[in-house]
Structure 1
Amino acid sequence: MGSSTSSSYTNLAALSNQTNTSAPTARRTINRPSPFTLHGNNSTSSIHEEASNLGSVHLDGKDDWANDFNDISHARSSSKLAPYGGFSKPSLEDGILSHSNIFETAPWSVASYRKGNGSLIKAVDQALRDGKIHKRKWVGTIAMPSDAVPQKVIDDITKTLHDDYDSEAVFPNDDIFQGHYKSFCKQILWPTLHYQIPDDPKSKAFEEHSWEQYKALNQLIADKLVETYKRENAGKDPNDPENIIWIHDYHLLLAPKMVREQLPDAKIGFFLHVSFPSSEVFRCFAQRKSLLEGMLGANCISFQTEEYVRHFLQTCSRLLLADTNELGLTYDKNFVMTSTIPIGIDAEKFGPVTRTEDVTDWRQMIRERWGDQKLIVSRDKLDKLRGIKQKLLAYERFLLSNPEYIDNTVLIQICIGTSHDPDYESELLGIVSRINSLPENISISQPVVFLQQDIDFDQYVALQCEADVFVVSSMREGLNLTCHEFVIATSEKKSPLMISEFAGSSQILDCRGQGALLLNPWSLKAFAETFKQSLTMSKEEKERRWKNMYDMILTHDSNTWIASCLKDINQAWAREEARHNGKMIRFTEEIFQQFYRKNQANRLFFLNLETATVIGGQDPNTVVAAMKSVTNAAAVAGKSASFSEPSTISKLLEGLLSDTSNRVYLVSVLRRSDLDRFYGGIPRLGLVAENGGYIKIVDSKQWLTLTDENEVGAWMPQVRSLIQSKVERLPGSFMEVEDCTVSFRPGKAFMEDRERSIDMMGDCIQHVNDLFQESDGVHAFISKNVVIVQQNLLSLRALEFLVQFHNHTQKGVSPADIIDQFKAKLAISPGTLSPVQSTSSMMQALEAEEVKSLFVIGGTTQIDEPCFEYANSLAGDGYEVQTVTSFGAEANLKSSARYCVGGKNEVLVMLSKVGKEL
């Protein structure tokens, strides 16, 4: 996709992987390299698969050329060949029948190809025709083996696809293609992503070579993407909303990271068309970490349903210790947005298809054939995941329970493709035979019409139009667009839709219980009852449910999908760009002096020197342990040059505190009693305990809390119990309970068994965040290799309160109003709160003031980033703002802060010169 300029392109990548299993020496066609990959059982497949205007490459006009060639080239081994004959000179035979010679002269042409990810093809092409996007370029593989094709032919095909079809072809060798697609994708990834963990001892898919081939093909695609992007988009505006690389589906899970490594500033999106399983299932992958990290190379990852997003975030939290929120996740200092954007159909274009002359003729023939009988229609790939067996058993149960329907109901089951499980196919035929033996009147139609072949598209649309019920019984499916088409097709009859709750479309078409009828394929009794509910539904209810589904399909159409995906990719990239290290300026003494001298009004300093500390070694408890044991401070300082005793910090801040225009707050993870012991005697120093849970205003002797201690008392016992169970299972770890915070510290276990510690911390984060949703305000996250559980965004809330509190002279705002707004109360002792009185020392210490300069320093944790973002947002309101992050030796730092330093001591030295040199 490109910008409004004619030479800007977006590269969309995915794997085309339609193979011809009947041709042992060559795949029959060269599929146009594109993201369309309607492989055998793509979850987003649509019945309305029109031939794309960008086609395939055929090497011969005959359909069976591959088999013919195979027979000819192996003629000498054929028993049908006469004992005398053939070529008298073997060299002549080799010359004529060699693969290179055959393919050197074989004619080929680009032709329309009906297979591939049809939903994606049509959505992108329609957006291009409608002007929603301006240019696009496909990058992917072709569906023919390249080993037998001479390089000259490959070059010719590549040039034609590039010049005439805006396509860039990748030619993996046959072993890589087969290992990638046949072995790893279809035997490992596909079943596991659909909760069917493979366990075939005869399968070679689990051998290491299939993973290596999966990586190799992903690398080939990534390299071609990078090559194309550099050629087509070099010098283009990175802010162009169509300057995007968009990668699709599970065949290319590693490609986003591979592209990111070569194009660190590129705008990359990834869309997973199939389902994403729970973390318990995904962790079965031997390569689980590599697969997740590969996906996280994208700026934005989109899924079909909220359930898949939730599973993905939980999996990343558990396996990678990524910090998650409602927008996405942060991993390895990078923010990745996640979104739910179900792909749809073009309802306006599909509607007229149902009214064509051919469809109308077929509808008439269907009515003549089945008369007044009720038609139940279903169309599935012939595999276990589609729930065909459960559908037939439920239908049988329905007929046995309601024998009056045996003679006037017909289930038309269309099975496309071939089954690779003859036992399963035989079992289905047995059930069909049993059902068809139920009627006593042999003159009527059988209750089941079981078609083991696909039918003409017009016939199928006619069946949809005439169906009294349409059934989708998938055991697990990313999305199912055939049922979307059914809703459009049944606009006259407004027939009900029965859909498995495990199909992604069910979450769209349920319409809060007033749309499709949801079913559980494993509950045969309820399934059978749903058949009867559908067939006996009143006309009024049919119309109401159909209207709800129809409106939802119009809302979630293909044009909306394209626009929403591109919008989210752009937003995610813009957010990440704002945090990129290259945009930050090295913080210097000169910059600080300019800030300090520019505005002589009151200044607010918000200093989190703990998250800004660079910890030596791997022990995540160094700083806190040192802070809580001042007598050992010198020894700890030897391990970490950036650690400073409270007395040292007090001395360094002396000049800053002596200036009455400054309001200085020290932010800490420690509890109130510890901060009072360390810093309570320092005049004019405000304190923030437990990352924002408690605040001691400058010159006040009382603590203020922004937390609701009743809420804390409600969630803390559950969290303590959960973390204690983790501590018991991880020797060397321990739990710390503060007034409004619970911490899970791996302690010595992190040094002795790092992998188990990480697994246990990830498990802890997932359990807490599952137990308390974002709406509950409780969040578990990792900071400096410690799991912290507390109410969400406390540090940000504390900063917002202090900014407003110290600007109470604004028109119409009083300190009491601000306290009421934040529901702040005096924290007299743990568990004891009281309202803030006007006679309190806090209120008496307050003077008429207006803070217009804000200085925020922190580290690179999730505690600091929201504070940086908020502070920067005030710059547009007349504030002079400086946000500084301390990154130490961390590489590839990304932060919302505007400035960076190598460690907190650099900043402390600058602050210590206030009153001396400024």
Structure 2
Amino acid sequence: MSKTIFVSNRLPVTVKKEDDKLSFHKSIGGLATGLQGYHEKSDSLWVGWTGLQDEIMTELDHQEIESILLKDYKCVPVNLTEVEIDRYYYGFSNKTIWPLFHYFSNLASHDVENWDAYKKVNLKFYNSIKNLIEEDDIIWIHDYQLMLLPQMIRENHPKVKIGFFLHIPFPSYEIFRTIVWREELLEGVLGSDLIGFHTYDYVRHFLSSVRRILGCEHHLNTITFNGRYVKADVFPMGIDFNHFAAEYKDEGYKSQFKAIKNSLKDIKMILSIDRLDYTKGIPERIKAYRRFLELYPEFIGKVRLNLIVAPSREAVDSYKELLKEIQILVSEVNGELGTISWQPIFFFFQSFTQEELIAYYRSAEVMLVTPLRDGMNLVVKEYLASRTDYAGMVVISETAGAASELGEYIIVNPNDLDQIAEGIKQALEMPIIEKQVINQTMCKRLKRYNVKFWAEDFMYNLTNLITDPMQLTGQVDLDEEPSSLLKSFEVGKNRLLLLDYDGTLVGFKSVPEKARPDRELKELLQKLVDNKHNTVVIVSGRDHVTLEKWFGDLKVHLIASHGLWLKHPDSSWEMTISLNNEWKSTINHVLEVYADRMPGALIEEKDYSLAFHYRLCEPDLVATKLHEVKDALVSMTQTMTIGLQEGNKVIEMKDLRVNKGYGASEFLKNPNYDFIMSIGDDVTDEDLFDVLGEDSFGIKVGLGNSKANYRVRSWQSVRKLLNKLSSY
């Protein structure tokens, strides 16, 4: 029976140890509330860190914690040491990923030991759940601390559904590319089937980085990666709307609300709530409030900024400095602008309960939310839900994720103090009817797309996502079901193996010359050749000189230049058709013009063809320029036998009379072969698949439409298959 496994850095249960006694408390709000409905199901588990350092716990503590968490909370703990917490959490997660993803690259560290700890702890999370995973499980991983975990699970459990959600911004490619371990982080996340973000901007930035750094194309937010489809999509997180909109009758709430109202009297409150962090723009907010009072002195004595800052990482030096800066700014504003009867800013450096915050929400005329960069910012949604009279107004930064949903409110540039000041004035002076119309519309939206809807929406999409292309093509997946091919191969006494090279036997390289055969491949081909029942033919678009240099020492048959050249072992090369090169100079000139316009492009001249490689070009430039290249070439060759053929990041001009099917015809006409297999990865191999007999095995490598009746996921899969065949 399938189950759901949630994985996050922290469990939705806080475990404390005081006086050698353990206590357990459920977390409230955010992720814990959103996933509560799913987690309460009997077939759900939650994996995460308890919050306790491994060193302060005894073996009996571990046993008690594991037993209680599993029995009472359906949670599985991950134990972390003090060093791991320091380097994985405070180190790489919060000194590398956090600042870079929030556009504070000047604060980012690239410490190798922190990176090693990050990898180690992600592996520790995997080891904590690997024995719990069953084939049809659904796993939902959360946030930037666990970006490597999806791929770790995928490598060992290829059929499970894996979701990943990033709760912070994903930066632009120009920022993300500065991370030393950028490829590893992207590949880690791409182990997922569905990747969720708060806004479309974050999706767009992620897709751009994947395309530019890994070279993976995408269509309609679906990425092609390692023979799989990976979907990236927008799921803006909501709140528990009814909790904030509820009527509270307990005395604690009533006394708090009354105390706030009494302190305000005729003063209008501007409210700011954040945790201590440099991404929140708190100093800039204080300066903007001061600017507001300077520009509009008529509000002096009539408004007050209640600045609530929740303690966070205050032991870190940079956070200590931030707190000191905030305290100084508050003192300056109060000292210079305050009077005996009026204080401009009330500063609270403490945490409040949700009920206490709701009392503040319901007393505030204006909610001031101006982070320099924020993934979502749920505070603004909590404020709107709490104002059941619809009489409040929001001034929000355009760089907060929530701004993409709250376009009706006053949106400002968090660095423009004058604009924020004007926004505060506008919010204070807005007619009550106008506020109510806006808020009623927004609250309907927030109530509908609450945190539970967010979780259900993501889980529904993950559950119903088709990520395996084999389900769409109807082809036999030899990675999963190789038995029919292996049986036919085993009984065959005269076998023909037609093997493409680039993208089939080796992976693609940035420069074609770098894709030379490695030792493992040479040894594998030698084993196949040594079997007297096998005829091995390499059918490549490479020129014959290169193939001779790379494979001349093996007893393999070689077909070069897409079928133009043929060489049998211990014989010389021969052309399969007579051609001339009169066309090349004209075409080459056109290609040179476009190569100059497309930095990174290179021209490969072969005996009787020209290849235009654009693997190293800027993807957006390719999108705008490549069609010009193709249009120019097609118009020039309309009356010639020369035509354009597209491959993987390459277009090639060659004689259309020559193709791989034509080149291999000498072998395919031989009636003695009782097993024929052809493997290839791109459009040039389709000509060969097209002429194979019904009983032959045409194998497409990777995704894309094909005439082949079988498929494998990658060139690594080809190697695994050939290794199996070499054992017969």
In the superposition, the TM-score normalised over structure 1's length comes to 0.58
Compute the displacement of 1:211 (Å): 1.9
Aligned to 2:102: 194
Question: What displacement does 1:487 show?
Answer: 0.8
The answer (yes or no) to whether the contact 2:230–2:467 under 8 Å persists in 1 is: no
Structure 1 counterpart of 2:88, from 156, 174, 180: 180
Distance 2:403 2:507 in 1: 52
**Match of residue 460 from structure 1:** 357
| Aligned-pair CA distance for 1:209 | 2.4
Give the aligned partner of residue 46 of structure 2.
Answer: 138
Partner of 1:305 in structure 2? Answer: 199
Structure 2 equivalent of residue 450 of structure 1:
347
1:58 has 2:58 as partner: no
Between the aligned partners of 1:250 and 1:15, the Cα distance in structure 2 is 9
Mapped to 2, the partners of 1:248 and 1:336 lie a distance apart of 17
8 A contact 1:611–1:859 mirrored in 2: no
> What is the deviation of 1:400?
0.8
Change (3 A) 1:789 1:164: farther
Q: CA deviation at 1:250?
A: 1.1
In the TM superposition, 1:275-314 aligns within 5 A as 275-314=169-208
Give the stretch that moved more between structures: 561-570 or 640-649.
640-649
Deviates more, 1:568-577 or 1:625-634: 625-634
Q: CA deviation at 1:474?
A: 0.9
Aligned equivalent of 1:519, options 383, 400, 412: 412
Which among 564, 567, 577 is matched to residue 457 of structure 2?
564
Q: Distance in 1 between matches of 2:594 and 2:456?
A: 41
- Where does residue 660 of structure 2 map in the other structure? none
In 2, the alpha carbon distance for the partners of 1:620 and 1:785 equals 13
Q: Does 1:867 align with 2:721?
A: no
Preserved CA contact (<8 Å) 1:480 1:504:
yes
Partner of 1:890 in structure 2? Answer: 715
Is 1:407 aligned to 2:301, yes or no?
yes
CA distance in 2, matches of 1:146, 1:214: 17
CA distance in 2, matches of 1:531, 1:524: 11
- Alignment partner of 1:14 out of 5, 8, 19: 8
Answer yes or no: is the 8 Å Cα contact 2:227–2:469 preserved in 1.
no
**In 1, distance between residues paired with 2:611 and 2:75?**
55
Query: Secondary structure of the residue that 1:15 maps to in structure 2?
Result: strand
Q: 1:628 to 1:648 in 2, by over 3 A?
A: closer
Amino acid at match of 1:184: F
The match for 2:141 is 247
**Cα drift, residue 646 of structure 1:** 7.0
Counterpart residue identity of residue 3, structure 2: Y
Aligned counterpart for 2:325 among listed residues 403, 408, 427? 427
Q: CA deviation at 1:360?
A: 4.5
Residues 1:155 and 2:155 are matched in the alignment? no
Q: 1:431 to 1:221 in 2, by over 3 A?
A: same
SS at match of 1:867: coil
Q: What pairs up with 1:449-598 in 2 under 5 angstroms?
A: 449-510=346-407, 515-572=408-465, 574-575=467-468, 578=471, 581-583=478-480
Conserved in 2, the CA contact under 8 Å of 1:398 and 1:529? yes
In structure 2, relative to structure 1, the CA distance for the partners of 1:480 and 1:572 (3 Å cut) is: same
Q: How many Å apart are 1:162 and its aligned residue?
A: 2.1
Q: Which residue type is aligned with residue 649 of structure 2?
A: V
In structure 2, stretches of 5+ residues that fail to align are 489-498, 517-538, 567-576, 581-590, 628-644, 653-693, 723-728
Cα-to-partner distance string for 1:196-235 (whole Å, 9 max, x where unaligned): 12558xxxx7543222222111111101111122xxx4xx
| 3-state SS, counterpart of residue 344 of structure 1 | coil
Indicate yes or no: 2:1 matched with 1:107. Answer: no
CA–CA distance in structure 1, aligned partners of residues 390 and 562 of structure 2: 78
Partners of 2:221 and 2:232 within 8 A in 1: yes
Query: Alpha carbons of 1:487 and 1:577: their partners in 2 closer, same or farther (altered >3 Å)?
Result: farther
Mapped partners of 1:292, 1:284: distance in 2: 13
Distance 1:575 1:383, change over 3 A: same
Taking a change above 3 Å as real, the CA distance of residues 248 and 648 of structure 1, as seen in their structure-2 partners, is same
Give a deviation string over 1:52-72, Cα, whole Å, max 9, x none. xxx433333xxxx5xxxxxxx
Q: CA RMSD in A?
A: 4.5
> How far has the Cα of 1:508 moved from its partner?
1.6
Conservation of the 8 A alpha-carbon contact between 2:101 and 2:171: yes
How do 1:623-772 residues align onto structure 2 when only pairs under 5 Å count?
A: 643=559, 723=598, 725-727=599-601, 733-734=602-603, 743-745=612-614, 761=616, 764-765=618-619, 768=622
Residues 37-436 of structure 1 aligned to structure 2 (within 5 Å): 55-60=13-18, 65=19, 106-108=20-22, 110-114=23-27, 118-128=29-39, 135-199=43-107, 206-229=110-133, 233=134, 238=136, 243-353=137-247, 358-417=252-311, 419=314, 420=317, 421-436=319-334
How many Å separate the matches in 2 of 1:286 and 1:123? 34
Secondary structure of the residue that 2:352 maps to in structure 1? coil
Indicate if the aligned counterparts of 1:743 and 1:786 stay in contact, CA closer than 8 A: no
Matches of 1:771 and 1:491, distance apart in 2:
55
User: Counterparts of 2:117 and 2:224 in 1: how far apart (Å)?
Assistant: 29
Q: Distance in 2 between matches of 1:566 and 1:616?
A: 35
Q: What is the aligned-residue identity percentage? A: 24
* Letter in structure 2 aligned against 1:168: V
Q: CA deviation at 1:333?
A: 2.6
Closer/same/farther in 2, CA of residues 160 and 358 from structure 1, 3 Å limit: closer
**In 2, distance between residues paired with 1:631 and 1:225?**
52
Aligned length: 602
**What is the rounded CA distance, in whole Å, between the counterparts of 1:405 and 1:616 in structure 2?**
67
Identify if the C-alpha distance between structure 1 residues 458 and 166 changes in structure 2 by more than 3 Å, giving closer, same or farther: closer
Question: Contact 1:170 / 1:224 at 8 angstroms: preserved in 2?
Answer: yes
CA contact (8 A) 2:228 2:467 kept: no
The amino acid of 1:112's aligned partner reads H
Q: Structure 1 CA distance, aligned partners of 2:325 and 2:204?
A: 36
CA contact (8 A) 1:14 1:247 kept: yes
In 1, Cα distance between the equivalents of 2:716 and 2:14? 46
CA distance in 2, matches of 1:646, 1:785: 12
Task: After superposing the two structures, state which structure 1 stretch, 424-433 or 612-621, moved more.
Answer: 612-621
Kindly indicate whether the alpha-carbon contact (under 8 Å) linking 1:636 and 1:643 is maintained by their aligned counterparts in 2: no
Look up the SS of the partner of 2:130 in the other structure.
Answer: helix
SS at match of 2:396: strand
| Deviation of the 1:636 alpha carbon | 9.8
Q: C-alpha deviations, 1:350-376, integer Å up to 9, x for none?
A: 321557664444334333321232211
Q: Could you report, residue by residue, the CA deviation over 1:464-497 in whole angstroms, capped at 9, with x for unpaired residues?
A: 1121110111111111111111111112043111
The alpha carbon displacement at 1:331 in A equals: 2.4
Shift of 1:175: 2.0
- Kept in 1, the 8 Å contact 2:149–2:189? The answer is yes
Contact 2:367 2:394 in 1 (8 A): yes
Q: Decide whether aligned partners of structure 1 residues 893 and 588 sit closer, same or farther in structure 2, where only a CA change above 3 A counts.
A: closer
Asked if the contact 2:366–2:428 (Cα under 8 Å) also holds between the matched residues in 1, the reply is yes
CA distance in 2, matches of 1:722, 1:283: 24
Structure 1: 5+ residue stretches without partners? 17-33, 37-54, 66-105, 592-607, 651-675, 680-715, 728-732, 747-760, 774-782, 791-852, 872-881, 895-899, 903-918
Contact 1:612 1:858 in 2 (8 A): no
Is the 1:407–1:439 Cα contact (8 Å) retained in structure 2? no
Rounded to whole Å, the distance in 1 between the matches of 2:323 and 2:593 is 50
The one-letter amino acid paired with 2:428 is L
Q: 1:717 & 1:860 partners in 2: Cα distance?
A: 31
> Would you tell me which structure has more strand in proportion to its own residues?
2
Counterpart of 1:562, as a letter, is A
What residue identity is the alignment partner of 2:705?
C
Pair 627,415 (structure 1): closer, same or farther in 2 beyond 3 Å: closer
Give the distance between the partners of 2:481 and 2:192, measured in 1 at CA.
22
Structure 1 pair 15–886 and aligned structure 2 pair: CA distance change class (3 A): closer
User: Does the aligned pair in 2 maintain the 1:626–1:636 contact within 8 Å?
Assistant: no
